[in-house]
Amino acid sequence: MKDTLTRFGLVTALAAVGAFGLAGCGSSDGAEGGGSSEESAEFVADLQAGVDIVNEQIEAVDDPMDQIMLASDVEDPTQKYGMWVMPYYPSDATAEYISTVQIENGTDFQVTATSAETGAEWNMDQDGEMTAADAE
């Protein structure tokens, strides 16, 4: 009987420790509320700036577009390569970004960039919702 109680106590203790440990390891893709607690505010602002540029250009042009290019080598919006090329100057918080933004259904798109701080790639859609790129 003493061995059974000892084993039961040991199993109960291990189960409690395991449950507590798993609770501390819960995952979150950090995308709740349109932002990420894992990334700097500066990086999130860079993504939002890209989204704002694309949204504004979609609204400004009457013809539906399939693509818009974000580029740091232009000073004014211009048309090149059969698409609009928009000035975009992200901060040092952004290591790299995908310059060609695909537009579906006239308004649906994602701006994708890599955080310089964490090396993680993130997407932000036309509504400002941010998700980890590998979560899709």
Question: What is the per-residue pLDDT across 7-66, written as a single tens digit (0 to 9) for each?
Answer: 444 343 434 434 334 333 333 444 444 445 589 999 999 999 999 999 999 999 888 889
Are 104 and 98 in contact by the 8 Å Cβ rule? The answer is: no
Dist CA 106 CA 22 (whole Å) = 43
Residue 26 belongs to a domain: no
Give me the amino acid identity at 24. Answer: G
Statement: the pTM of the whole predicted model exceeds 0.75:
no
Domain of residue 53 covers 40-135
Residue 7 belongs to a domain: no
pLDDT reported for residue 105: 93
Residue 105 belongs to a domain: yes
Banded pLDDT at 136 (limits 50, 70, 90): low
CA distances from 60 to 54, 55, 79, 91, 111 (A): 10, 9, 14, 25, 18
Residue 27 belongs to a domain: no
Residue 97, CA atoms < 13 Å, CB-side half-sphere: 28
Residue 74, CA atoms < 13 Å, CB-side half-sphere: 14
Sign of CA dihedral 134, 118, 100, 90: positive
Residue 125 belongs to a domain: yes
> Is 115 strand, coil or helix?
strand
Residue 31 belongs to a domain: no
Residue 6 belongs to a domain: no
Question: Average pLDDT, stretch 61-86?
Answer: 92
Residue 60 belongs to a domain: yes
Question: Average pLDDT, stretch 57-84?
Answer: 92
Q: Which tokens go with 48? A: 């939002």
- Domain count of the fold of the chain: 1
